[in-house]
Amino acid sequence: MTVDLDKYVKPGRDYYIALGLEGSANKLGVGIIRQPVGQLSQTNRAEVLSNVRDTYVTPPGEGFLPRDTARHHRNWVVRIIKRALSEAKVTGADLDCICFTQGPGMGAPLQSVVVAARTLAQLWELPLVGVNHCVGHIEMGREITGADNPVVLYVSGGNTQVIAYSKQRYRIFGETLDIAIGNCLDRFARTLKIPNEPAPGYNIEQMAKKGKHLVNLPYTVKGMDLSMSGILAHVDGLAKDMFGKQGKKLVDEETGELITAEDLCFSLQEILYSMLVEITERALAHVNSNQVLIVGGVGSNERLQEMMKLMIQDRKNGQIYATDERFCIDNGIMIAHAGLLSYRTGQTNDLWNTVCTQRFRTDEVFVKWRDD
Amino acid sequence: MSLIPTAVYSAADLEQPHEFHPGDGDHTTDGQTTQISEVVIKAGGEDRDKPSEARDTPLGHLRAQLTTLQDQINVFLTERMKSEKSAITGKEEDDIERRILDDGVDEDEED
């Protein structure tokens, strides 16, 4: 039996349109999606009508503070919504629902975006749909890549999880025990005072391409989980010794050449990504799958994709799926897409039930739109 | 049609509810209490996230007046939090004193 996704279609229409608002971290995203009636498939696909994003960027060496990030979202949200509507060539009257990120994420930015969502819903008399940010990434990844039932590696600034679907839940097989991988990379970028534009992780990736010496760093896989705070402390310590007052020189043991900042970026990436590959491979073996889907901002890192590909190629019929920065990095369209699926199964949020939450685990969501 | 926002704050310890009115004068959307953090500016950042200016329409005026109102509320609540905090810290010190005097006997007291 398949789930009936068309109980709530507007009379006389054979499609749905939803607007999604994302603002759980430093990206403010507004996306508008159109889904045709019927089950989504490779021949019956969702259509991205618009996907606009604006990122709050801080000076080098600084992270983004909740207060200023929320202010960025508040002050841009109306302009970004207007741009998304005009690009999609739709008006409020064309929409079926307003979707918003309910969590997980930073409290203040989430709060400022949900106010915009509530306002639109009341203005246009539309239902609200609260979306779990991680589920948004997973559903959009599946839609874009066509991966039907992959093991999902969700890697971003705030989250690191290995996820597999089973019985209407996205279940977490492994995750970070402390900080997220993107947080680890971003904070190291701050130590090195690497610019935050376009993204600290992107700049680390570019530097890592020039690195060639692997510096010994801790490797901390704990069963299916990872720990990254110790690695960060270690590499931060090395960087401070090298570029601080001490000006300590580190040399590569084999070649005797000086270790550079590029080498540190290279080593950090190699170690962290090896750990990810290890737990992902183990999850694949557990659930007897051969598909990996990488989502989340760090998923746009080409080195991570390459390493994952090497692992998956060794597996029978192994396939890797990844999306580009439009869908990897936080965006509004994934919220619109996952929210619309939820709406089509009758899951909406009354106004009183639209409070955002910083903690909202992926497996708390009832995936009513799947029953495989 | 003119739209003038107001706000009322009431709490158990206030004898009368506190009312807020934007009043006359220049209202702008660039609020005093909603500026970018100083740390960001000090670190060499620039403020590219200023709110757009209010238009000369009833809704535009409402936006500007709301910002004034927000400033008033923020100042009021910050003051209140400060005095509440100092009241609590004072109380905690008393608590420590009481505990020491009671010779380590920690009792749950209900206010």
Question: What pLDDT was estimated at residue B3?
Answer: 85
CB contact under 8 A, A59 and B52: no
Give the confidence band of A247 by pLDDT, cuts at 50, 70, 90: confident
Give the confidence band of A307 by pLDDT, cuts at 50, 70, 90: very high
Q: Where are the domains of chain B?
A: 7-103
Q: Please name the member of A58, A74, A79 whose beta carbon is closest to the beta carbon of B40.
A: A58
> What is the distance in angstroms between the Cα of A69 and the nearest Cα belonging to chain B?
9
Question: What pLDDT was estimated at residue B111?
Answer: 43
Question: What pLDDT was estimated at residue A70?
Answer: 97
> What is the distance in angstroms between the Cα of A356 and the nearest Cα belonging to chain B?
22
Question: What pLDDT was estimated at residue B107?
Answer: 47
Q: Which of A36, A24, A116 is nearest to A77 (CA)?
A: A116
Are B75 and B39 in contact, with CB atoms under 8 Å apart? no
A9, amino acid identity: V
Q: Which of A32, A334, A318, A372 is nearest to A154 (CA)?
A: A334
Q: Is the pLDDT of residue B17 over 80?
A: yes
Task: Tell me how far apart the alpha carbons of residues A152 and A321 are, in angstroms, rounded to a whole number.
Answer: 9
CATH fold label, A148-327: Nucleotidyltransferase; domain 5 (3.30.420)
Q: Please name the member of B40, B49, B52 whose beta carbon is closest to the beta carbon of A62.
A: B40
Q: Is B37 on the interface with A (CB under 8 A)?
A: yes
Q: Which of A203, A248, A197 is nearest to B44 (CA)?
A: A197
For residue A76, list chain B residues with Cβ-Cβ distance below 8 A: 49
Q: Is B43 on the interface with A (CB under 8 A)?
A: yes
**Superfamily for the A15-141+329-364 domain:** ATPase, nucleotide binding domain (3.30.420.40)
Which residues between 70 and 99 in chain A have a beta carbon less than 8 angstroms from any beta carbon of chain B?
A: 71-72, 74-76, 78-79
Q: Is A76 helix (H, G, I), strand (E, B) or coil?
A: helix
Question: What pLDDT was estimated at residue B94?
Answer: 61
Task: Tell me how far apart the alpha carbons of residues A63 and A31 are, in angstroms, rounded to a whole number.
Answer: 26
| Per-residue pLDDT tens over the stretch B52-86 | 999 999 999 999 999 999 999 999 999 999 988 88
> What is the distance in angstroms between the Cα of A72 and the nearest Cα belonging to chain B?
5
More confident residue, B105 or B46: B46
Task: Tell me how far apart the alpha carbons of residues A361 and A98 are, in angstroms, rounded to a whole number.
Answer: 22
Q: What is the rounded average pLDDT for all residues in chain A? A: 95
Task: Give the number of C-alpha atoms closer than 13 A to the C-alpha of residue A201, restricted to the C-beta side.
Answer: 24
Secondary structure letter of residue A251 according to DSSP? B
| Per-residue pLDDT tens over the stretch A34-74 | 999 999 999 999 999 999 999 999 999 899 999 999 999 99
Relative orientation angle of helices A261-287 and A302-313, to the nearest 10 degrees: 40
Question: What pLDDT was estimated at residue B109?
Answer: 43
What lies within 8 Å, CB to CB, of A155 at 6+ separation is: A180, A181, A182, A276, A294, A295, A296, A297, A298, A299, A304
Q: Which of A295, A65, A56, A79 is nearest to A198 (CA)?
A: A56
Residue with tokens 């969700």: A154
Chains A, B: CB pairs < 8 Å: 35
Q: Is the pLDDT of residue A107 over 80?
A: yes
What is chain B's Cα-based Rg?
22
For CATH 3.30.420.40, the residue range(s) in chain A are: 15-141+329-364, 148-327
Secondary structure of A315-349 as H, E, C letters: CCCCEEEECCHHHHCCCHHHHHHHHHHHHHCCCCE
| Per-residue pLDDT tens over the stretch B86-111 | 887 776 666 666 666 655 554 444 44
Could you tell me the pTM of the whole model? 0.90
Q: Is B53 on the interface with A (CB under 8 A)?
A: no
Are B106 and B99 in contact, with CB atoms under 8 Å apart? yes
Cα angle, residue A258 at apex, residues A253 and A262 outer, rounded to 5°: 110
* Helix ranges (DSSP H) in B7-57: 38-42
Question: What pLDDT was estimated at residue B108?
Answer: 47
Cα angle, residue A370 at apex, residues A295 and A351 outer, rounded to 5°: 80
Phi-psi region of A78 (alpha: psi -120 to 50; beta: other; left: phi over 0): alpha
